[in-house]
Amino acid sequence: MSLPSINPTTTEAWKKLEQHFSDLPAGKAGVKELHMMDLFAQDEGRSSKMKISWNDFQVDFSKNRITEETLSLLLQLADEVSLKEAIQLQFSGDKINQAEDRAVLHTALRDFTSMKPEVKRSLKKMKKFSEAIIKGKWKGYSGKSITDVVNIGIGGSDLGPKMVTDSLSYYKNHLKMHYVSNVDGDHISETLKNLDRETTLFIVVSKSFTTQETIANATTIKEWFLKEATQLDIEKHFAAVSSNLNAATHFGISEDNIFPMWDWVGGRFSLWSAVGLSICCSVGYSNFEELLKGAHEMDFHFKDSDFSENIPVVLALLSIWYNNFYKCETEAVIPYTQYLEKFVPYLQQAVMESNGKEVDRNGNLIDYQTGTIVWGNVGTNAQHAFFQLLHQGTKMIPIDFIGFSESLHGNQKHHSLLMANFFAQSEALLQGTYKEEVTNNFKSFIGNKPSNTILIKKLTPKSLGSLIAMYEHKLFVQGIIWNIFSYDQWGVELGKKLAKDSLISINLNSTN
């Protein structure tokens, strides 16, 4: 079955939201003019009403420029665009990526209750492979154990595993992890200069095994490796994650060291697959499995919870509200943990590559705003960088604050200071100096800046899996409401084609 294709601006809910935003009946000011401080004063139970508790997650969305009526109308919008039907179609394996005639089943990679046989086989192979590397049983060509692992990929074959490996560095083992993505020769040279050929494993990650940057980097690394090793040694130092078995074996990689990728898994949602092999090597297979299980629990919550208590749905509806009614073009994500330093770059690909579309599911040009621009950095660093604009700037930028109740190393003094800032920033953005007497206008700011606070008990592989899956489902909901296909990336493909044409021209000019 096909996804429903409903222009959201034609729905009754959208029309009611437009009126609700600007003008209420009897000449009252619309929600656009309300201050959240007044909303809290009018309803003492606002904080408890606008909070979702799930597992170790507490999501407080009370500091948003909405009323209960706003939320009701947004939920009506979700119903009118047939969101429930769309969710069912995705999880059932229908080819909802119609532009490429593919199913979208990254959720099947982490479904241990009814796992596909090919996924089970892949996980079993990943477990065996990673444990041999970690325990030192895998020997290089000179008989030494592996000490360094280099992941060679780009986009989803790099950002996902790199982010998870970095985020879970507290749980890592002795292996040193490296990620090569940019085709910039300086990047690869800097990586190689401190590596030992005898003790390094390279994982080439490319679904087609033709990705220009990845194959260029893999070929350069192979040439570097062969300066001291032989062609026969490649099988002890190179593995691949690809659907192109012939190309990978032609490169010299043993078929035993090649892991599968499937047509029904998009690159930016592939860290849950064998693309996460470097994660397994870094934190061990058991932690990788916990990551998958955490994501699956969020899948279950998303698929079966009522929309009013559904974390990804509520977050997506709020994003629609700001993007399409307040005309906010960006939203910030601020994790209050240094471990999630690479989380925002990962989200940028997941969200902006998915929902940066100007054609709807009916093939028509869109006359309303779609994908939001996602940006941010870790707190408290961000407070000393761009928070001045968030507090007193003329732009309204909704924010997700992500925090953890418990620190990993147990330094309570530092963690208390960190969390004090976590809570204070959302309060300051809400309150500003509203209704205070300020003698110096330069110290005045109106507040009324929206934010969500996502408080999680502890950063574990499982909670990280849930957090990533939460944003995956949020972007899916946004795409359904905007009536776009979130799972293709034709703009990226055009860029690849033009790069190849440019390379031909450059090579021709250099030989003349």
Interval 142-164 mean pLDDT: 98
Instruction: Give 116's contacts (C-beta < 8 A, 6+ positions apart).
Output: 108
Reported as a single tens digit per residue, the pLDDT across 224-240 is 999 999 999 999 999 99
Q: Is 457 a catalytic residue?
A: no
Q: Judge whether 35 counts as a catalytic residue.
A: no
> pLDDT tens-digit profile of 408-442?
999 999 999 999 999 999 999 999 988 888 888 89
In 3D space, the residue among 423, 415, 402 whose CA is nearest the CA of residue 332 turns out to be: 402
pLDDT per residue as tens digits for the range 302-334: 999 999 999 999 999 999 999 999 999 999 999
Q: What is the CATH number of domain 8-94+305-492?
A: 3.40.50.10490
At 330-369, the pLDDT tens digits run 999 999 999 999 999 999 999 999 999 999 999 999 999 9
Residue 364, classed as helix, strand or coil, is coil
Q: Choose the catalytic residue: 116, 293, 303, 496.
A: 496
Domain 116-289, CATH among 3.30.360.10, 3.20.20.80, 3.40.30.10, 3.40.50.10490? 3.40.50.10490
pLDDT at residue 29, as a whole number: 67
Q: What is the mean pLDDT of the chain?
A: 95
pLDDT in tens, 461-500: 999 999 999 999 999 999 999 999 999 988 877 766 666 6
**Residue 496 appears among annotated catalytic residues:** yes
- According to DSSP, residue 353 is labeled I
Cα 275–312–59 angle (5° rounding)? Answer: 115
- Residue ranges of the chain assigned to CATH 3.40.50.10490: 8-94+305-492, 116-289
Of 169, 158, 227, 239, the residue nearest 198 (C-alpha): 227
The burial class, CB within 10 Å (0-12 / 13-18 / 19+), for 41 is exposed
Centroid of chain to Cα 477: 14
Q: Which of 384, 409, 413, 437 is catalytic?
A: 384
Q: Do 282 and 295 meet the contact criterion of CB atoms below 8 Å apart?
A: no
456 burial level (CB within 10 Å; 0-12, 13-18, 19+): buried
DSSP 177-246: EEEE----HHHHHHHHTT--GGGEEEEEE-SSS--HHHHHHHHHHHHHHTTTS-GGGGGGTEEEE-S-HH
Which contiguous run of DSSP H or E holds residue 330? strand 330-335
pLDDT score at 27: 56
Residue pLDDT, tens place only, 372-412: 999 999 999 999 999 999 999 999 999 999 999 999 999 99
Size of the chain, expressed as the number of residues it contains = 512
**What's the number of CA atoms in the CB half-sphere (13 Å) around residue 239?**
25
Which tens digits make up the pLDDT trace of 190-218? 999 999 999 999 999 999 999 999 999 99
This prediction's pTM: 0.96
Spatial separation of the C-alpha atoms in residues 142 and 124, rounded to whole Å:
27
Q: Which two tokens stand for residue 432?
A: 């500003």
Three-class SS of 120-160? HHHHHHHHHHHHHHHCCCCECCCCCECCEEEEECCHHHCHH
> How many C-beta atoms surround the C-beta of residue 504 within 10 A?
10
Q: Which residues contact 346 (CB under 8 A, 6 or more apart)?
A: 159, 160, 162, 163, 468
pLDDT in the model for residue 148 = 98
Under DSSP, is residue 78 helix (H, G, I), strand (E, B) or coil? helix
CA-closest candidate to residue 42, choices 23, 68, 60, 18: 68
Which of 198, 289, 297, 353 is catalytic? The answer is: 353
Whether the CA torsion 149, 152, 153, 158 is positive or negative: it is positive
Q: What are phi and psi of 243, to 5 degrees?
A: -100, -5
For residue 404, give the nearest of 338, 481, 483, 465 by alpha carbon.
Answer: 338
Confidence band of 509 (pLDDT split at 50, 70, 90): low
CB 448 within 8 A of CB 440: no
